[in-house]
Amino acid sequence: MKFSILTLFPELIETYTNASIIGRAVKSGVISVEAVNIRDFSADSHHKVDDSPFGGGSGMVMTCQPVESAFESLGALKEPARVLLTTPTGRRFDHAMAVELSQCQQIVMLCGHYEGFDDRIKTLIPRIEEVSIGDYVLTGGELPALCMLDSITRLLPGAVQKFSSVEADSFYDGMLDYPHYTRPAEYKGLKVPDVLLSGNHAAIAQWRKQQSLDKTRTNRPDLLEP
């Protein structure tokens, strides 16, 4: 899968995608990531990419031309493809959407900054989808783009060494993950639950299922609603 991320700060993207599981997925060819610097496509002599908003108000707005030109530099997209614009006003990103996106061949992400994009971008660039990672505002769209990239990549065959660990993650089966423990079996008087030391795999599976249900009921009861 190819990720094309249009941003004013490509170094943020490159630093993250060179490390850990995502870095290994890049090296092994599971995904490829290109960080496209929007500023490189500004027709302004000073490479300006923003301007003050019509109607007044604080902050600056990213202008149409450099964003549209940066997108056009990608050429024909590998289908099936999706074009995402990171914004707090968009559809909420969740596990179900990550599964949808994991079926794509290419995902383009437009990272906003300042007060966001000139709204005409949504008309100039075809099939843009506005996407949010939560009900809060960040300085720019790079973190949302990386969050989505990470979540989607984990679902791709070969990205995580043992896919069974992905299947045990929160939300994969509609519930939250169960608690995890490791050595030592006792630390500062805190003991690992006896069932996990029993060797009884059926009992362990039942305990984990119950713990997952209990945690979901307590922390996210909305996930259990029909």
List of E strands, 55-199: 61-62, 81-92, 106-111, 128-132, 186-187, 190-191
Residue of 77, 73, 79, 83 lying closest to 121 (CA atoms): 83
CATH number at residue 38: 3.40.1280.10
Q: Give the pLDDT of residue 161.
A: 85
Active-site residue, from 50, 66, 82, 88: 88
Q: Would residue 199 count as lying in a domain?
A: yes
Strand-pair partners of 190? 187
Task: Kindly state whether residues 121 and 205 are assigned to the same domain.
Answer: no
Q: Are 107 and 2 in contact (CB under 8 A)?
A: yes
Note if 115 is an active site residue.
Answer: yes
Q: Of 98, 119, 154, which closes a domain?
A: 154
CATH number at residue 211: 1.10.1270.20
Q: Give the pLDDT of residue 226.
A: 84
Q: Phi and psi (nearest 5°) for 185?
A: -70, -20
Supply the range of the domain harboring residue 37: 2-154
Active-site residue, from 14, 115, 130, 150: 115
Note if 34 is an active site residue.
Answer: no
Q: Would residue 101 count as lying in a domain?
A: yes
CA 48 to chain centroid, in Å, comes to 28
Q: Give the pLDDT of residue 163.
A: 87
pTM (two decimals): 0.92
Q: What is the DSSP string of 118-150?
A: -TTHHHHSTTEEEEESSSS--SBSHHHHHHHHH
Average pLDDT by consecutive 10-residue portion of the chain (226 residues)?
A: 98 97 98 98 96 94 98 98 97 97 98 95 96 96 98 96 85 94 98 98 98 97 93
Q: Would residue 146 count as lying in a domain?
A: yes
The CA–CA distances, whole Å, from 50 to 2, 47, 70, 129, 140 equal 28, 9, 14, 22, 14
Q: Would residue 81 count as lying in a domain?
A: yes
Task: Kindly state whether residues 130 and 220 are assigned to the same domain.
Answer: no
Note if 40 is an active site residue.
Answer: no
Q: Would residue 162 count as lying in a domain?
A: no
DSSP 8-state secondary structure symbol assigned to residue 222 = G
Task: Kindly state whether residues 139 and 201 are assigned to the same domain.
Answer: no
Q: Give the pLDDT of residue 165.
A: 83
Measured distance CA(58)–CA(80) in Å, rounded? 39
How many domains would you assign to the chain? 2
Q: Give the pLDDT of residue 166.
A: 87
Task: Kindly state whether residues 207 and 142 are assigned to the same domain.
Answer: no
Note if 51 is an active site residue.
Answer: no
Active-site residue, from 14, 34, 169, 177: 169
Task: Kindly state whether residues 148 and 189 are assigned to the same domain.
Answer: no
